[in-house]
Chain A
Amino acid sequence: MRYTFISVEMITAQQECTVPKEVYHKGPKVKEGMQYGDYVNNQASSAPTPLSSTSDDEEEEEEDEEAGVDSSSTTSSASPMPNSYDALEGGSYPDMLSSSASSPAPDPAPEPDPAPAPAPASSAPQPSKMTKPFGYGYPTLQPGYQNATAPPNSGVPPSSPGYSGFQPYAQQYPGMNQLSSGLGGLSLQSSPQPESLRPINLTQERNILPVTPVWAPVPNLNLDLKKLNCSPDSFRCTLTNIPQTQALLNKAKLPLGLLLHPFRDLTQLPVITSNTIVRCRSCRTYINPFVSFIDQRRWKCNLCYRVNDVPEEFMYNPLTRSYGEPHKRPEVQNSTVEFIASSDYMLRPPQPAVYLFVLDVSHNAVEAGYLTILCQSLLENLDKLPGDSRTRIGFMTFDSTIHFYNLQEGLSQPQMLIVSDIDDVFLPTPDSLLVNLYESKELIKDLLNALPNMFTNTRETHSALGPALQAAFKLMSPTGGRVSVFQTQLPSLGAGLLQSREDPNQRSSTKVVQHLGPATDFYKKLALDCSGQQTAVDLFLLSSQYSDLASLACMSKYSAGCIYYYPSFHYTHNPSQAEKLQKDLKRYLTRKIGFEAVMRIRCTKGLSMHTFHGNFFVRSTDLLSLANINPDAGFAVQLSIEENLTDTSLVCFQTALLYTSSKGERRIRVHTLCLPVVSSLADVYAGVDVQAAICLLANMAVDRSVSSSLSDARDALVNAVVDSLSAYGSMVSNLQHSALIAPSSLKLFPLYVLALLKQKAFRTGTSTRLDDRVYAMCQIKCQPLVHLMKMIHPNLYRIDRLTDEGAIHVNDKVVPQPPLQKLSAEKLTREGAFLMDCGSVFYIWIGKSCDNHFIEDVLGYPNFASIPQKMTHLPELDTLSSERARSFITWLRDNRPLSPILHVVKDESPAKTEFFQHLIEDRTEAAFSYYEFLLHIQHQICK
């Protein structure tokens, strides 16, 4: 059946391109390669999506922002005005719109900030009043603040867009531990035992998991600073109370570090155009909300404590059109701002957006059929590729030879140029391979339409990936940009060839997992060369066999690219993977991108960066070189305390990301996070952000398992729990040794560590393919916290009884919010249907005696028996429960970097094991159940 199908395709292919390919050996002769019969030009080039800064304003922001826009537009036309405060980053990115309704990021709306009264003369400088909110007035709490019975959500910014909708729920469950742990910080000074320190006996607490998502704890700052602080979505610290000394940190046995998501899609972002960007003169810190103004003319840097002058230009506030109020400037009112940088911040003129696609067209690749999907989504999204009129694009394909495509405008059809000399790769026509997207659009479309059928009859099984990458590097090095590599098998020719290293019999071994590191440094070297030329390499690996991701991933890891992996991809046999590729590609092609970026992380004197995690190249101890930055990249940093922080009560962290936007603008995005310093061990425990700590530990464990061994890393994870809990135990003096006590802020710590141990990256005993494991490790390294947490500890919901109780509204749709369930089979009832959200995959588990109404209304089948084994879609049925289920799933899917595929899993079906291995509280043959794990820890502590 399959054969006939292919042969039919071959015939059509031959009809379409019956043209001899001219093999191109070293030499200047260039000939036209192929002609495509009668191809009709379709004028699909629609108007580019407008990127206006005013059209998509948030409702809530309007008041402030319009004042700003007005002032700048009117004044700038009248007089040469140095400042202009652009309102918003335009909403030309699709996912920003979808989340816009639900995401109150750093939200200035509830507090009437500076704007409404544009009274230039009214505010005479009042130094005492002015300096107060910015001075270190932190330890004294404000009076109305000590009896902190505020509604739970008042001070708790939701940790992810959309969680704001949990407000009704939160009130419904007022005793929720997690809420109160957020609140615990507030009442720290007033009550003897804050909520986040409430000791919990882990072995006796049955329901440890809260029914609402876990929020980031809020640093214990005074209200002014809290309001200004950076959103936990983009910037989190594992300890929201920084210990004063390294000794105290060592005593707490907790990791200290930052988790960053610097280039996140934001709905509101103040963009500042200014002639001078105000920075500290000695440490180059950007001015931020946490600096203190000593008087009208001087400010004190909060990182190095140097006193700087306020420049003349900064005295004028474009927002209120008033003079002499430097503390009301947007830079000082927002902890996340973006500056438009001047030419001082450029080493060369801003580069255009350049995209190069390097495609595997060997027999294996053609068989898998990804080309059709890629070309289709490229055709659809060609106009949405981020870029300006200078955008350039190019294509290369390779099997055992390398094929270039000349798309120079003026040609009647694309030319294929074949280079068969892979030992010494050269570019046949260096200047016409990367072409302007708009000038050569027709040729590009011709090529994309023809590509899927050009290689259907290929017999070439070898793949010369290394030489193709060398050629791509040569092609990109004058400009820099993004290279997307599609690979379907182990590279087998030329430089960088790899051997199969996996021994299938070792997959489930509990002993040693080998080959987690690269086999050759070819890809690493190439990545470093690329990084030096501002080129990032993104890898799409679509293979059914082992293809040594551990070695291949290096090309993305060190060039700040990203890695996608589709195991056993096939466009007909595995439609769910094909659909996933299609959706991922859509996001990949249209998401925002920043070029030639560098990121610098600064922190208050006394703290220092220790180790970085993520995809980048570390150029100096605090500078990361990122050839490309994309909104889905997360980073982690380990910190150490070098000097005692005894003379300060606050520490600040600032990341500055300097990048070239796709429109050719040089921009700097600055995030600043401010945290209090504490001197007692109890306060350190009170401020633990357990999710951030777990993510940092996961990153450290990946490093450990590559540099030493997997079992070492697993031991280190268990030790992290044992050490921190025993340290806490010895701190609490009245301790009975029989019980396992944890502070409420750390109560999920053992559960999450157990989840990590059962994660694909670190599990032993269960059969895991080496590539899957390595991919999971890559994901841990570069996913931002929110997505990583779902990967580690999936969310389980019961969906057969969705109600509108506590539902939230997103874009006129009602999204129900079912409570979270414990990841244990005891929660699965035969009468129910459950949805598990694992980040990149959804499972819907249908119980054996599930209500037939639900099956009929939501799945569209009359009863349990008639549900097919493979089902990856929910049908669009016109029933209430179907609508609820679908809107809930769509809501979960929004804003994911990897679009999750849905699997409907029947009880009793073979796919059930996939689902059950995520139930991490249960016992498996090779691993502890949660209760056993707790006993194990207890045993270790008592030893």
Chain B
Amino acid sequence: QCNPLNPLVLSEYLIHAFFCVMFLCAAEWLTLGLNMPLLAYHIWRYMSRPVMSGPGLYDPTTIMNADILAYCQKEGWCKLAFYLLAFFYYLYGMIYVLVSS
């Protein structure tokens, strides 16, 4: 049930972490600061995941509980909004730099 989903979790987290590292290299402190809470949340989320042998976060036996399902959905929407805003912010930042240089 969660088989297609679980491998994507770790890759999402890694991509996000990669971005953070990139910002660190570029010394973009403001952007990095914006991303730090999410990074911390990701690390916490992955530490407190259910007992699993494979990678991933979602446990097929409990995912259908209304509480957990609602939580995961809300989490998904929030992150989508965050990524979208971040995307436009990065775009704006890039264009700003291009124009100003």
Question: Which A residues lie at the B interface, using CB under 8 A?
Answer: 517-522, 524-525, 528, 558, 608-612, 617-621, 640
Contacts and interface: CB of A to CB of B under 8 A. Distances in A.
Nearest to A621: B64
B56 to A, nearest CB: 11
Interface stretch (B36-44, B65-73, B92-100): B65-73
Given A608-B66, A610-B67, A611-B66, A617 B53 contact: no
A537 to B, nearest CB: 14
Given A518-B51, A520-B53, A609 B61 contact: no
A525 B2 CA distance: 12
A517 B51 CA distance: 9
Interface string B38-65: 0000000000001111000000110011
B71 to A, nearest CB: 13
Contacts of B61: 524, 528, 558, 617-618
B84 to A, nearest CB: 28
A617 B63 CA distance: 11
Nearest to A616: B61
A621 B66 contact: yes
A621 B52 CA distance: 22
Contact of A619 (B1, B53, B65): B1
Contacts of A609: 66
A619 B52 CA distance: 19
A610 B53 contact: no
Nearest to B66: A610
A617 B53 CA distance: 19
A606 to B, nearest CB: 15
Contact of B53 (A525, A558, A611): A525
A612 B63 CA distance: 11
A579 to B, nearest CB: 35
A528 B52 CA distance: 13
Contacts of B67: 610-611
A621 B53 CA distance: 25
A640 B53 contact: no
Contacts of A640: 66
Contacts, number: 37
A521 B66 CA distance: 22
Contacts of B64: 612, 618-621
Interface of B: 1, 50-53, 60-61, 64-67, 69
A693 B13 CA distance: 42
A415 to B, nearest CB: 36
8 contacts: A609-B66, A610-B66, A610-B67, A611-B65, A611-B66, A612-B64, A618-B64, A620-B64
Give the top 4 A-B pairs by smallest Cβ distance, nearest first: A618-B64, A610-B66, A611-B65, A521-B52
A587 B28 CA distance: 70
A608 B66 CA distance: 9
Contacts of B60: 528, 617
Contacts of A558: 61
Nearest to A527: B61
B4 to A, nearest CB: 15
A608 B65 CA distance: 11
Contacts of B51: 517-521
Contacts of A525: 53
Contacts of A519: 51
Nearest to A623: B64
Nearest to A610: B66
Given A524-B61, A618-B64, 12 more contacts: A517-B51, A519-B51, A521-B50, A609-B66, A610-B65, A610-B66, A611-B65, A612-B64, A619-B64, A620-B64, A621-B64, A621-B66
A292 to B, nearest CB: 30
Nearest to B50: A521
B69 A621 contact: yes
A182 to B, nearest CB: 32
Contacts of A521: 50-53
A161 B67 CA distance: 37
Contacts of B50: 521
Nearest to B2: A528
Residue of A517, A522, A618, A621 with most partner-chain B CB within 10 A:
A618
A524 B64 CA distance: 16
Contacts of A618: 61, 64-65
A612 B53 CA distance: 25
Contacts of A608: 66
B55 to A, nearest CB: 12
Contacts of A520: 51, 53
B58 to A, nearest CB: 12
Contacts of B69: 621
B64 to A, nearest CB: 4
Contacts of A517: 51
A522 B66 contact: no
A519 B65 CA distance: 22
A538 B51 CA distance: 22
A279 B96 CA distance: 63
A530 to B, nearest CB: 13
Nearest to A519: B51
B65 A522 contact: no
Contacts of A620: 64
Nearest to A522: B53
A517 B66 CA distance: 21
A620 B69 CA distance: 11
B67 to A, nearest CB: 7
A862 B4 CA distance: 72
A20 B2 CA distance: 48
A831 B66 CA distance: 55
A803 B64 CA distance: 53
B63 to A, nearest CB: 8
Nearest to A620: B64
B69 to A, nearest CB: 7
